[in-house]
Structure 1
Amino acid sequence: MVTRQLHSAIFGTCGLEEESLVEISGPADSGKSLVLQQIMAHCLAPYEFGGRQWSALLINLSHKINRESLTKSMTTELRAYSDGDGGGAAAAQESPPEEQLAKIAGECVKRVRFLNCFSNEDVQTALIDARYAIINDPDVQLIALDTLSEFYWLDWPRGMQNLSRFKHYRLWQARLEKICKEAIVCGMYTVDSDFLENRHGDQVPEVRLNYHFRMQQIRGRNFLNGLPLSFSNGVYLDS
């Protein structure tokens, strides 16, 4: 049976563990941002729809995720649970009308603060802002960062040509991990897989990942950790 709730297929029945660090890697245009967006939708969803009812911060580098696209993913997540993918009482109840789902989705997305970035300096400022935002709002339980590798080339004019892609990736990864640990929240990010290979033997601090989801494109199909992935009317494992 295909479940249209991505989180239950990739995190298991117990779901995403609290204070986890999640990496979503893959080549360009492999659907990394869509996967991140759908996992965020689960974290934002109300308890009665099988979600975590969290507030979240989105550090937005590539601007592929916006309020409209996240609201659409939210509606898909709520509908999937209402149609019985969540199991339990949801399977026996009549699905709410689309208008009600859209209203709930909109309320959930209001609990996301978008920190739009256009440079590495903006990202650094966003991480500082995130620290204070969590102090001021204990409901914030997730920091999501889309396209961690987006601004690598912007460092070159500043004389940082010797900073390898791997080191750039690991330095920002470590910064995100540090803030998440200090704030006791979950962190998720996407990164281009080209940045994951340490071609120059760089010595950088180790970062402990709780989950690593690797996206691939093989013969025109998308895969997540070797399992076929569908982007038709949502994001789900098409097994």
Structure 2
Amino acid sequence: MSKSHPDQWTINPSSEPADPALVAALAQLATTQIADSGGPVGVVGPPLRHLAGPAGLCGTAVTVWTKPGDILLVLKAVDSIRPGDVLVIDGGGREDAAVVGDIVGETIAGLGAVGLVVDGAVRDVDGLDAAGLPTFARGAHPATGSNTGPGAINVAVQCGGVVVRPGDVVRGDASGLVVVPREHLAQVVELTTAVAEREDEWRRRIAAGESLPAATGIDAILAEVRGAPERPTP
């Protein structure tokens, strides 16, 4: 839990939105597939989880670092939100002081934000849910902390052990969150599409009567490592 940041009090302009066609393509792919792609992807660790609104989000990161439990720069960050953005708040993992609630959530949803991610606590979960804002956080807590700062907007932050920079693309669903560096977005979409196509092929083969171990190549792997012939498919 860090009480300082090398760029504290900095307010940078938002990055250009990531390529909308690539963001839309990534939104069609599951976080599990993105995590399995082998590409340069950050997988956000627990205990961050889906708390309110729909589970699906995919958009360009607007980042906030705040002293754990402080709301000052979080409130200011609303001015940086554009349609398609995800507000990512590094609250230092503090769980006993919420840094965002339903007023901020309703406001950024009205500005076109597609999600809220907080490495820390939120409050007013019912209001965030009613706003339809996909919200991921460590947990909920009814009280806030301070409103004196320091904080920073659109600087590199950490979320669930993953570095998030302004302009990176955040994808969330019921399984969790992943972060794709914007410069690698096209590569990750291509790699993940191949994963999705492979999984579709597995499903087709299983539906046609092939066993799951045979369809997914597990039988072939076991035959190789055990030095035994593959079991014929019925």
**Fold shared per TM-score above 0.5:** no
- Structure whose residues are more often strand by fraction: 2
Pick 1 or 2: higher relative contact order, CA cutoff 8 A, min separation 6.
1
TM-score after normalising by structure 2: 0.28
Which one has a bigger Cα radius of gyration? 2
- Structure whose residues are more often helix by fraction: 1
